[in-house]
Structure 1
């Protein structure tokens, strides 16, 4: 029986990371419309089986929440930290992810953008590529 074991490749490829982000985004979009509902509320709206397909959330079918937005910005920060690793060392990861999440906040708090720019500088808030996607400038977190 031991001879039939499948050996797992422990090396992660870009496809693993893409799959993780995509799977998280799909699950987030599936649950976005029911994120803050109790099981009883879900069953009363969608029936005994609950939600079985995409539903309206944030103005369209299958939209994602702040969880996917922050995952994307965190991934961007990790990618930028790798690029900067040569001259920033280990602190670069914390710095890069921190600034990436500031960029996410910049997309959410549009009435505070000027304050964020004054506090952290234009480069810190515009350094990544995600702030170039206008669809991410959409308030998602109920906590904000």
Structure 2
């Protein structure tokens, strides 16, 4: 049982660490290392950036990571994860087109209002799930 708890802690830590790194890094996502060092010094970004909202907002990358994790958690043991992931990405896509959860959200994650915010996802992120939805 202790080994299971350690695995869960590692997964939780990886998800949290990714979200924190994403929150710190989104303002400089498309800058080169030279641009970052020029603007923020040789160490780069080491904390919340001045003039940015604190806490930093969740990004599309973190949104999709959460829905990926949910899709994997919903997949029955030993089953092909693709159908579960497909449904998870469709739930995420719903957060990009609606201002909040509908009257019958599909699962706990889909009830979280903070996820219903468009954070400039790329064409592949929007187009892939939208194409999958057409096949339903």
Give the alignment's TM-score, normalised by structure 2.
0.71
The equivalent of 1:47 in structure 2 is 41
Question: What is the aligned-residue RMSD (CA, Å)?
Answer: 3.1
Select the structure of larger CA radius of gyration: 1
* Structure with greater proportional helix content: 1
Q: How far apart, CA to CA, are the structure 1 residues paired with 2:75 and 2:14?
A: 19
1:24-71: CA deviation from partner (whole Å, max 9, x where unpaired): 1111112111111112322232233221112379x6223332111111
The equivalent of 2:53 in structure 1 is 60
Q: How far apart, CA to CA, are the structure 1 residues paired with 2:108 and 2:64?
A: 14
- Matched residues, number: 119
1:143 lines up with 2:113 in the alignment: no
1:90 lines up with 2:90 in the alignment: no
The equivalent of 2:65 in structure 1 is 71
Q: How far apart, CA to CA, are the structure 2 residues paired with 1:11 and 1:134?
A: 29
Q: Can you give the 5+ residue segments of structure 1 that lack an aligned partner in the other structure?
A: 1-8, 112-121
